[in-house]
Amino acid sequence: MTSLQKAHAATTFAMIVALSYAQSGAVAQSGSESKAVEITVRVINSNNGEPMGGVRVVAILGRDLDRDLPEVTTRGDGLAVIRLPAGTDWVTVGMSQGFWQCTPWTKTTLAVRDILAHGVVGINTCRMKDKIKGKFVPKPGEVIIFSRPKRFFEA
């Protein structure tokens, strides 16, 4: 094997190794690595403004509602923490069965950057004339949604 052939073989081998390494995800993108983020969801009873514990909160990823995350149950203080995978740009936040969701699903598809920057308060369709929404100011990273227990005939 001539020195030119050896150099060509070494170059080819180096390119194959570099491509394999890049495809495995081991090569970081220049300073733009995404990291998982956590958002806090606060569920408020639309009837009395009190936090609602024991509510199962669900998050659906993407504007096209691509993927559900596992449900998380709110604590006694009405808070639930949801960990969003790296690269999530949009999330829809809501509740599963058992409670009436006063913040409509169509109004809870939110940009993650807005949630992280200043927080979001959802609308309260259960008590539109009530001033309860104005009592709540979200923290950065927090989504506030309104709910109430279902009535007998709504089950």
Q: Which two tokens stand for residue 137?
A: 């100011």
131-150 per-position pLDDT tens digit = 665 688 899 999 999 888 87
User: Which pLDDT does position 18 carry in this prediction?
Assistant: 41
Measured CA to CA, the distance from residue 110 to residue 35 in angstroms comes to 18
Q: What's the CATH class of domain 37-154?
A: mainly beta
85-123 per-position pLDDT tens digit = 998 999 988 887 778 888 877 777 889 999 999 999 988
More confident residue, 128 or 144: 144
Angle at CA 17, nearest 5°, toward 15 and 21? 115
Q: Residue 153: pLDDT band by 50, 70, 90 thresholds? A: low
User: Which pLDDT does position 75 carry in this prediction?
Assistant: 96
Measured CA to CA, the distance from residue 122 to residue 23 in angstroms comes to 41
pTM for the full predicted model: 0.72
The single-letter code of the amino acid at 112 is V
25-77 per-position pLDDT tens digit = 333 333 445 688 999 999 998 888 899 999 999 898 887 667 778 889 999 99
User: Which pLDDT does position 29 carry in this prediction?
Assistant: 38
Q: By C-alpha distance, which of 1, 93, 84, 19 is closest to 55?
A: 93
Question: How many residues are there in the chain?
Answer: 155
1-33 per-position pLDDT tens digit = 554 444 444 444 444 434 343 333 333 333 445
What DSSP string describes 16-51? HHHHHHHHTT-SPPTT-----EEEEEEEEETTT--B
Domain ranges of the chain: 1-31, 37-154
